[in-house]
């Protein structure tokens, strides 16, 4: 008898400008988790239907499920946004309300990520009493964390919101738009990375820390990880152990100006995705 594989629910929240990067991310996810079933949930405000159909065709090619949820973003109009921080980034904070009540947990992923290994260990992580699991990006010292503690008035680590395992049952009890709105109204001047700052300011104590080298590897900081691990975390280690390679900051790996030791790796998945989309058109 064939054992039934329980699906992993993946959440992305974005606009049409990030459809190409999220396609690359999903191709890398499917390619490195070939026996796993996924349900992809996209929360958006105004992605054109033809673009959604193209993404759906790509996901269907891998025999995976896809659901798009359109949200009225009017309530976020006063929220701090910039060109690279669109309004859709806030949708992940309220995903407990926006996703079906039948879902008990979801794994949120930024579109500027490559998936290199199995995501199952994170999906199966025991969150214990925590609502979220996420990683910090500490560098060689805790200077950035200490500065963020001072800026936000917090007493815990500063977590990156690009990869988050979310207990949706707990999130539905904890996360409320009224609390988010109050922070936006009173502390907007202090929000440098708006949704990430909100996550840390309001819910930082509800986050279980996971190793960044495995679950949220900052692609800009190879030298830091290599040095901090005394030479253990070299490229061979990354290919074998790192699950989420996160292209934080600017420029992005799909930009011509991007040039580091992981640019070619990203380009390989980008070309693969482009060939697939051309065949499916």
User: Residue by residue, what is the 3-state secondary structure of the chain?
Assistant: CCCCCCCEEEEEECCHHHHHHHHHHHHHHHHCCCCCCEEEEEEECCCCHHHHHHHHHHHHHCCCEEEEEECCCHHHCCCCCECCECHHHHHHHHHHHHCCCCCCEEEEECCCEEECCCCHHHHCCCCCCCCEEEEECCCCCCHHHHHHHHHHCCCCCCEEEEEEEEEHHHHHHHCCHHHHHHHHHHHHHHCCCHHHHHHHHHHHHHEEECCHHHHCEECCCHHHHHHHCCCCCCHHHHHHHCCEEECCCCCCCCCCCCCCCCHHHHHHHHHHHHHHHHHHC
Query: Is 167 buried (19+), middle (13-18) or exposed (0-12) by CB count in 10 A?
Result: buried
Q: Which fold has domain 8-280?
A: Spore Coat Polysaccharide Biosynthesis Protein SpsA; Chain A (3.90.550)
Lowest pLDDT segment from 53-57, 120-124, 178-182: 178-182
Mean pLDDT of 93-109: 96
pLDDT of residue 201: 87
pLDDT of residue 103: 98
Chain centroid to CA 76: 20
Query: Which two tokens mark 223?
Result: 């030298």
pLDDT digits (tens, 9 = 90+) for 55-65: 999 999 999 99
Per-domain residue ranges of the chain: 8-280
Lowest pLDDT segment from 19-33, 46-60, 135-149: 135-149
The residue with tokens 């109050």 is 182
Could you give the CA distance from residue 123 to residue 108 in angstroms, rounded to a whole number? 11
Could you give the CA distance from residue 257 to residue 15 in angstroms, rounded to a whole number? 23
Compute φ and ψ for 202, nearest 5 degrees.
-90, -35
pTM assigned to the model: 0.92
pLDDT of residue 72: 87
Pairing relationship of beta strands 132-136 and 105-109 according to DSSP bridges: unpaired
pLDDT above 90: percentage of residues in the chain? 74
Categorize the per-residue pLDDT at 53 as very low, low, confident or very high, splitting at 50, 70 and 90: very high
Q: How far is CA 157 from CA 40, 138, 180, 195, 203, in A?
A: 29, 9, 20, 16, 11
Categorize the per-residue pLDDT at 2 as very low, low, confident or very high, splitting at 50, 70 and 90: very low
């Amino acid at each position: 008898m064939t054992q039934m594989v329980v699906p992993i629910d993946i959440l992305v929240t974005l606009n049409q400008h990030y459809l190409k990067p999220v396609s690359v991310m999903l191709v890398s996810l499917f390619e490195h988790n070939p026996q796993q079933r996924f349900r992809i949930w996209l929360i958006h405000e105004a992605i054109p239907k033809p673009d959604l159909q193209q993404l759906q065709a790509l996901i269907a090619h891998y025999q995976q499920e896809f659901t798009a949820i359109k949200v009225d973003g009017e309530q976020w109009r006063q929220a701090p946004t910039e060109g690279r921080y669109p309004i859709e980034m806030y949708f992940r904070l309220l995903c407990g309300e926006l996703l079906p009540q039948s879902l008990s947990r979801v794994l949120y992923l930024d579109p500027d990520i490559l998936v290199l290994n199995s995501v199952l260990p994170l999906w199966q992580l025991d969150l214990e009493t925590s609502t979220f699991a996420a990683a910090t990006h500490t560098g060689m010292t805790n200077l950035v964390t200490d500065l963020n503690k001072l800026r936000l008035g917090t007493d815990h680590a500063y977590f990156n919101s690009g990869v988050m395992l979310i207990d949706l049952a707990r999130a539905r009890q904890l996360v409320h738009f009224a609390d988010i709105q109050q922070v936006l109204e009173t502390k907007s001047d202090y929000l440098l990375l708006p949704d990430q700052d909100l996550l840390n300011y309001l819910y930082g104590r509800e986050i279980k820390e996971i190793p960044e080298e495995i679950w949220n590897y900052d692609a800009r900081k190879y030298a830091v990880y290599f040095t901090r691990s005394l030479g253990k975390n070299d490229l061979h280690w990354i290919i074998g152990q790192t699950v989420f390679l996160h292209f934080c900051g600017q420029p992005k790996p799909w930009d011509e100006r991007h040039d580091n030791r992981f640019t070619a790796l990203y380009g390989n998945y980008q070309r693969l995705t482009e060939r697939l989309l051309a065949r499916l058109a």
